[in-house]
Amino acid sequence: MEFIIVTGMSGAGKSAALRFLEDLDFYCVDNLPPQLIPTLVDICHQGSSAIDKLALGIDIRGQEQFDELTAILDGLAYPFKILFLDAKDSVLLKRYKETRRKHPLLSADTTQAIARERERLSEIRSRATNVIDTSFILPKELKERVTDIFLGDKPFSNLSITVLSFGFKHGMPTDTDMMFDVRFIPNPFYVPELREKTGNQPEVQEYVMSHECAVVFLEKLKDMVDYTIPFFIKEDKNQLIVSVGCTGGKHRSVTLANKLYDHLSAQGHNVLIEHRDSELPNRKR
């Protein structure tokens, strides 16, 4: 099991770091009393447990209990890492003034409270596996650093992709990021034996893809989506909807959406497919 203690100065970004670790599939618990660490870790190591990545937020909010942290960690039989979030005193003071929050040490003088906290955290900071100074970095940059530390060279994406087919005559989807019109492809609706079928059936797919314009368009569609996905990931977008539309949403759009879904699935993306209008009854066009 991968086990991380997330600690550091109050206001330095520990809660944000835990959220980013949760995106990396860590089971995260914040403000856990240090005395409960051995019990929780034992549970996670049991064979019936599905938790193999654990991150615990432990900090000065535990008051006197926090002072027992190092002794408790020394008694653990399992390996762990310590991520320490830090920031300059002047930055922490500014953050407290902006948020109007009271320091956990409940001092009337926030400057003195920060100094006392830094002194009490000095030992755990010296043991830290990784220290991140958040004084002058954006949340996006903090996420990148946390990801680099705990994911390494392994690819990561929190992006969920939905490929949606639809019919223009039933209205365009209101929630979409990329929309493509395939009404230029010859329509299986005018082939009697295909009219009542959909692009989920092989004979319709074969007809649609028998046209060179459909083959070329599919390659360009895959290339366009492949090109843009890394940029959506970089901007921390967690959902991407790619819509493909034809006249009725039963034949051409369904076929192309299925082909795009297969392509994205083969690349390992988290992808869903939805055929909005494929089961609606045909009407004369």
Contact 87, 13 (CB under 8 A): yes
Does residue 141 sit in the same domain as residue 7?
Answer: yes
**Alpha-helix residue ranges (DSSP H) falling in the chain:** 14-23, 37-45, 69-74, 89-99, 110-120, 122-126, 139-151, 202-209, 212-234, 252-266
Does residue 138 sit in the same domain as residue 199?
Answer: no
Of 151, 168, 196, the one marking the end of a domain is: 151
pLDDT of residue 285: 43
Of 151, 177, 200, the one marking the end of a domain is: 151
Does residue 147 sit in the same domain as residue 165?
Answer: no
> Global pTM?
0.57
Contact 103, 24 (CB under 8 A): no
Q: Which class for 29: exposed (0-12), middle (13-18), buried (19 or more C-beta within 10 A)?
A: middle
Of 128, 151, 174, the one marking the end of a domain is: 151
**Among residues 116, 120, 58, 119, which one has the least CA distance to residue 84?**
58
Domain assignment of residue 281, yes or no: no
Does residue 128 sit in the same domain as residue 219?
Answer: no
Domain assignment of residue 201, yes or no: yes
Query: Alpha-carbon distance 61 to 43, whole Å?
Result: 24
Does residue 168 sit in the same domain as residue 257?
Answer: yes
Position 283 pLDDT exceeds 70: no
Q: Tens digits of per-residue pLDDT, 74-118?
A: 898 889 999 999 999 999 888 888 877 777 777 668 888 898 889
Q: Tens digits of per-residue pLDDT, 12-33?
A: 999 999 999 998 889 999 988 8
Query: Alpha-carbon distance 158 to 160, whole Å?
Result: 7
Instruction: Give the range among 41-45, 103-107, 183-187, 245-249 with minimum mean pLDDT.
Output: 103-107
Position 195 pLDDT exceeds 60: yes
Domain assignment of residue 282, yes or no: no
Does residue 187 sit in the same domain as residue 62?
Answer: no
Does residue 46 sit in the same domain as residue 166?
Answer: no
Domain assignment of residue 17, yes or no: yes
Domain assignment of residue 284, yes or no: no
Looking at the DSSP assignment, which residues form a beta bridge with residue 55?
A: 4, 28
Instruction: Give residue 245's domain range.
Output: 160-275
CATH of the domain at 53: 3.40.50.300
Per-residue pLDDT band for 154 (boundaries 50, 70, 90) equals: low
pLDDT of residue 232: 87
Domain assignment of residue 285, yes or no: no
Q: What is the mean pLDDT of residues 244-250?
A: 96
**Half-sphere exposure for 119 (CA within 13 Å, toward CB):** 7
- Number of CB atoms found within 10 A of residue 178's CB: 15
pLDDT of residue 260: 97
Domain assignment of residue 122, yes or no: yes
**Number of folded domains in the chain?**
2
Q: What is the mean pLDDT of residues 147-170?
A: 80
Does residue 67 sit in the same domain as residue 207?
Answer: no
Domain assignment of residue 27, yes or no: yes
